[in-house]
Each structure stands twice: as structure tokens, then as C-alpha cells.
Amino acid sequence: MEENIKRVFEAFSVEGAPVHADPIKTGHINQTFRIRTDEGGSYILQQINTDVFPDPEAVIDNKVRVAAHINEKRTHLSPADLERRALRFFRTRSGGYLHRDDSGGCWNLLNYIQDSRVYLRTPNATVAREAGRAIGRFLKDTEDLDPASLSVTIPGFHSMALRYAQFDKALSSGSDERRREAGDLIERALGLRSEMQSLERRISEGRIPTRVTHNDTKISNVLFSEEDEALCMIDLDTVMPGVVHFDFGDAVRTICNKGDEDERDIANVGFDTGYFEAFVQGFLGDSGIVLAPSEMEGLAFSSQVMTFIVGLRMLTDYLNNDIYFDTAYETHNLVRAKSQFRLAELIGERLGEMEAIVSRIRRRSSATETRG
Ligand code: GN1
Ligand code: MG
């Protein structure tokens, strides 16, 4: 294993010597490794990308605080059960949770949950429902944590106005070739400017309560047991103040997509209504979350908005010559943007049906609450 990784691991206050470091490549921003020790221990070692997160201390502080808050609600579990369902951060030998290596790299270490797995794509409705339950539960568990006590580590992370401003800038500085290649998508983005900002208008009018949100609720950030029970939410890098729509919409973006986020064959991008129904059942029906009327309003629409905003960010990054998301090939960001825009379009065509599903499940679960 690489000498630097070994030294970084040894800076943390855990037992055992590191013997294997396996890269985990599902993220697009940070570097993550699974470390195995000679004593059979397993850990997740993560380097925070400081170009994206300029204040890594604040990122780690947010993560540690949110994890501890959730774990306080799990004290009824046995230690072994807790170990399987909770993220636990380890301190460095000098006391904090962040280690800076010799070249300024910022690292944190947490437990690796054994016999677990993640999905890049939803395999069946049970997984969609479980993912919904885990995401709803995350929001419920953090609803009594003051969102203002968390740092805003990426200001305007889900702000459509900001993402459009960044797109406009990239458009004026982008190369002719990339602008030509992305011509159709650019036209589409320009045409949707006002419609895609309507959720943000409601947020800025203060009509939707602020709560702690995860902000990256894609399917691969839900950890499953080998029996497909959702164990917990992982990747707490972007926990910040937000609104429920961010987490609901971003979850639907990946959970209900029949294709991959970077699907090259656009015909494979599809919206699975059955998975949507299962997801909503898990989120609203199984998690125990109770949403305010203003939080219920526009939930289905948030799926279109969050899918579109991710596509817009990928398109912007393509015009900027790929400076933000990791890419595996020349047109990777363009391919991603195309597939996300297509999915947003498909969601737009189904909004009526999706709203009816949300209302039906909401009515059913409030009837159960009243009876129970
Ligand atoms: C990035 O790196 P990862 O996979 O955790 C991005 C998210 C996007 C996601 C798209 C900090 O998340 O906002 O939705 O890619 N994270 C950041 O897959 O920008
Ligand atoms: Mg993330």
C-alpha cells in the first residue's frame, strides 16, 4: 500500500497496522479508501477535496455532529447492532477528527460497516422502499438538531439561481467546440430558467421550513445489508441547512432512474413509476417523518428540479473543461448532463401522476397515524 496512505492512517487513534488500502470509486469529488488492518479491522479513510470544500474543518465538524446526534437516538440498540447501523468517526492521535498530511491533504477516518453493500442503480421495489425509509429516517432523526448550528460548507449548493449564474459564466467563456457539442442542452437550459427557479422562489420567501438535510441522497449513499435492509445513510460531507425538497428530489433522481447517471444510450434513461411509489411509501409511510403542509407542496416537482440542477452543474462543468466532477473520458460530463436532462424531462411529463401517488400515500399514512 502507498506510503502516504499508511502514514495518514497511522495518524488516527485506532489499533492495528494497515495492510490493505482499496480505493472506493463511487464518489465524484473526494478520495475514499477502505483500509484493512493486520488485526482484521476495517475502516473508511477519506480525503476531502479542498477545491470543493474550502473549509474542511467545518465539513468534518458537521459530519461528526450529525452522526453523534443520530447515534444518540440508537442507544436502545446492542453495541453490535449499533456498529452496523451507525457512522462513527475516529480521533487523530492529537485529538481532533481531521488529519492534515505533509502536503496539506485533509483526512478523516470512520468505521467500515461489515457485510454491507451499495447500489448504483435500484434493483427492485423493495430496495427503493428501504432507501425511502432510510432517507426519511435521516430527516426525522435530525429534525431536532438546529440547522443554524451547522456550517454552510458550500454556500448556495442547491441554489438554482447560483447554478444558472455559474452556467452563464461558463457559457461565455466556454470553447466554441464544447458550446457546439452541447448546443441542444444549452438551448434547453436557457428555456427552463424561470420554471426551474420556482421552487427556489418559495424557499427564499421563507415559505418552507429549514431543516438539517443530507444534500446528496443518491441511491449509492444508502448502505444496505446483504438482506437488502437499509442500514444507514453514508457520505455526510454535504450535511447542511436545507429543505426537505432537496433530499426527496435528489433521491428520486437516482432511485427511479432505469438507467445510470452517466447513461450513454439515452433510450435506457427511464422513469420507473413503481419505484417512485415504493420510494414514497418508504419515505412518507415507513420512516415516521411528519412533514408540514408547505413541505408536502411541490415534493413531486422537486424530483424534476433536483434532476435538472445536477444536469445543469454537469453541463456547466463540461463548458468549463471538467474542473469539478471526476471524469473518465472526454465527453463524460456532457453524457451525464444529457441523461439528467432527459430524466428531468420524463419526470416533467409524469408530475400529475407522481403528485397523485404522493397524496395517496400521505393520506394513507396519516390515517394510520390517527388510528395508531
Ligand atoms: C457529487 O462526490 P459525490 O458522488 O458524493 C456532488 C453531488 C452530485 C453528485 C452526482 C459536493 O457527489 O452534489 O449530486 O456528485 N457532490 C458535490 O452524482 O458537489
Ligand atoms: Mg457526496
| Placement of cell 427564499 in the chain | 204
Question: Percentages helix, strand, coil for the chain, rounded to the nearest 5?
Answer: 50, 15, 35
3-state secondary structure 209-265: CCEEECCCCCHHHEEEECCCCEEEECCCCCCEEECHHHHHHHHHHHHCECCCCCCCC
> 56 pLDDT band (50/70/90 cuts)?
very high
Are 319 and 337 contacting, i.e. CB atoms less than 8 angstroms apart?
A: no
CATH superfamily of 125-371: Aminoglycoside phosphotransferase (APH), C-terminal lobe (3.90.1200.10)
pLDDT at 1: 81
From the CA of 220, give the closest atom in ligand 1. Answer: 4
- Of residues 141, 143, 124, the one with CA closest to residue 210: 143
Best mutation site among 30, 32, 218 for ligand 1 pocket (most ligand atoms within 8 Å of CB): 218
Are 333 and 322 contacting, i.e. CB atoms less than 8 angstroms apart?
A: yes
Mean pLDDT calculated for residue range 348-356: 98
**Is-same-fold flag (3-113; 125-371)?**
no
Contacts for 368-372 with beta carbons within 8 Å, 24 or more apart?
A: 368/285, 369/290
Q: Please give the model's pTM, rounded to 2 decimal places.
A: 0.97
Domain ranges of the chain: 3-113, 125-371
Best mutation site among 29, 236, 262 for ligand 1 pocket (most ligand atoms within 8 Å of CB): 29
From the CA of 238, give the closest atom in ligand 1. Answer: 11
Mean pLDDT calculated for residue range 273-280: 98
CA gap 238, 93 in Å, rounded: 26
pLDDT digits (tens, 9 = 90+) for 173-207: 999 999 999 999 999 999 999 999 999 999 999 99
CA gap 142, 66 in Å, rounded: 7
**Residues lining ligand 1, Cβ inside 6 A:** 27-29, 52, 216, 218, 235, 238, 261, 310
pLDDT at 371 over 70: no
CATH superfamily of 3-113: Phosphorylase Kinase; domain 1 (3.30.200.20)
Q: Which ligand is nearest to the CA of 325?
A: 1
Mean pLDDT calculated for residue range 213-233: 98
pLDDT at 372 over 60: no
pLDDT digits (tens, 9 = 90+) for 11-40: 999 999 999 999 998 899 999 999 999 999
Are 103 and 122 contacting, i.e. CB atoms less than 8 angstroms apart?
A: no
pLDDT at 365: 86
Are 136 and 282 contacting, i.e. CB atoms less than 8 angstroms apart?
A: yes
Contacts for 15-24 with beta carbons within 8 Å, 24 or more apart?
A: 15/39, 15/41, 16/40, 16/41, 21/45
